[in-house]
Amino acid sequence: MTGRITSPAIVVTGMGIISPYGIGPDILWTKLMAGESGLQPLTTFDTAHIRCRVGGQLKDFNANRYLSPRTVRKIDRFSSFALIASELALLDAGLLVDGKKPLWMESGEGEQRVGICVGNNLGGWEFAERELRNLWQSGPREVSPYMATAWFPAAVQGNVSIQFGIKGIGRTFLADRASGAMAIIHAADCLQRGRADMMLVGGTEAPFSPYAALCYETSGLMSQQAVSGSLTAYRPFDVAHDGLVCAEGAAFFVLERAEDALARGATILAKLTGWASTYDGYNMVQPAPDGQRYAEAMKQALTQAQKQPDDIDCVFAAGSGIPSEDIAETRAIRLALGDAANKIPVSTPKSAFGNMFGAATPVDMAIALLAMQRHVIPATLHLDQPAPGCDLDYVPQTPRSVERLDTCLINARGMGGTNAALVVERCS
């Protein structure tokens, strides 16, 4: 017997997004196509103690419009984002019976075979900071008992699993800007190994509160141009790049094995055919400048997807905008794709609205899916002139219509060189 064991194909059957532009994929896509910045001056909290003055903030968001006030009182903003994005993903996947409850809750069957994976970086500091203020100013009686469950990163998986009756695998991943990628990778692995029949997976981040914003600022990785309130401060691969600008939001997906999705008549949005992660083992903050291990993640993802570099129609870069990281990512893409890197577009659409950290890769994946449906590659905004050492086709300033956009490589890289790569394919 020499037959090759074929792994089951993993498909995306539902998608829900909250971006700084608003709720849902349509507004995200429309704004990206229009080249509108999602960055705004930070006004919803006191920024006197930090230098950064802009971010991808969802300013008119009122969780009470989507969730009961009783629920909102118990959770942080990052859980609200996740609950809403999850509901949208389940709805998109045709899994909500009456617009609220999933099929498995209605029938009481199969809930142990549904799992959840969440990527997050900071936790729920808006809630935590409010309650800490209550503690110091008014005493312990004024602290919400929900402090015990609201603020920590795994709170999201708890809240979502309770809300939607998910009783299978539950995992939360913290890997800086690669957190969401790690969640997607684990969810896909779980499906392929038969440990679950359906996975709700995504990432969420809500970094706009005094302490959370300070944590990012003290990392030294934020753009100094944001100090002046510049709405073009996030400039991946540009000669004036000098760091990140953070954003808030969430993106969640329903993943299934293709055979299961087809059997239930689901609409397949895309295939997830390759994934891999590596670690640099180099430094607590800086990723390895040689890009070797980062490239290895991309190569392994391509191998799993059974793709050659020439098969890739677009790379969605991590694009941190941190000068050393932009150069290292360019180097890694060249190492992974070889000569093909000269002709493959490498876009960083998040330059328009900011980096969502734990939700960064899920939002990139959502944009990749939308791009493949429309045969248009969103642009890398704020890229006027490529920086030295950044010599790829970064799709600057203007979206690009293309004839073929069937296969995308999505990169993720977190602090200290936590590398991940995904391959997604359009479903014909």
Partner 1 sequence: MTQEAITSRIIAIIKEHVGTEDALFPETDLEEDLAFDSLERVELAIKLEKAFGIALANSKLRNSVTIGDLIQLVICAEQERRILNV
The residues that touch partner 1, with contacts defined as CB under 8 A, are 68-70, 74, 141, 144-146, 148-149
Q: Please, which residue, 144 or 219, has the CB nearer to partner 1? A: 144
Cβ at position 151, least distance to partner 1 in Å: 13
Q: Please, which residue, 4 or 70, has the CB nearer to partner 1? A: 70
Cβ at position 35, least distance to partner 1 in Å: 42
Cβ at position 143, least distance to partner 1 in Å: 9
Q: Please, which residue, 101 or 374, has the CB nearer to partner 1? A: 101
Gyration radius (Cα) of the chain, Å? 20
Is 256 within 8 Å of 278 (Cβ atoms)?
A: no
Cβ at position 129, least distance to partner 1 in Å: 19
* Cα 394 from Cα 231, distance rounded (Å): 20
Pairing of strands 346-347, 22-23: unpaired
Cβ at position 138, least distance to partner 1 in Å: 12
Q: Please, which residue, 124 or 354, has the CB nearer to partner 1? A: 124
Q: Please, which residue, 162 or 239, has the CB nearer to partner 1? A: 162
Is 42 within 8 Å of 218 (Cβ atoms)?
A: no
Cβ at position 148, least distance to partner 1 in Å: 6
Q: Please, which residue, 68 or 397, has the CB nearer to partner 1? A: 68
Cβ at position 159, least distance to partner 1 in Å: 12
Q: Please, which residue, 69 or 281, has the CB nearer to partner 1? A: 69
Neighbour tally for 352: CB within 10 Å:
28
Cβ at position 158, least distance to partner 1 in Å: 12
User: Torsions phi, psi of 267, nearest 5?
Assistant: -80, 125
Q: Please, which residue, 4 or 141, has the CB nearer to partner 1? A: 141
Q: Please, which residue, 68 or 342, has the CB nearer to partner 1? A: 68
Cβ at position 70, least distance to partner 1 in Å: 5
Q: Please, which residue, 18 or 63, has the CB nearer to partner 1? A: 63
Which own/partner pairs from 189-193 qualify as long-range (CB within 8 Å, at least 24 positions apart)?
189/275, 190/115, 190/117, 191/8, 191/10, 191/255, 191/256, 191/257, 192/7, 192/8, 192/10, 192/257
Q: Please, which residue, 147 or 376, has the CB nearer to partner 1? A: 147
Cβ at position 183, least distance to partner 1 in Å: 26
Cβ at position 161, least distance to partner 1 in Å: 14
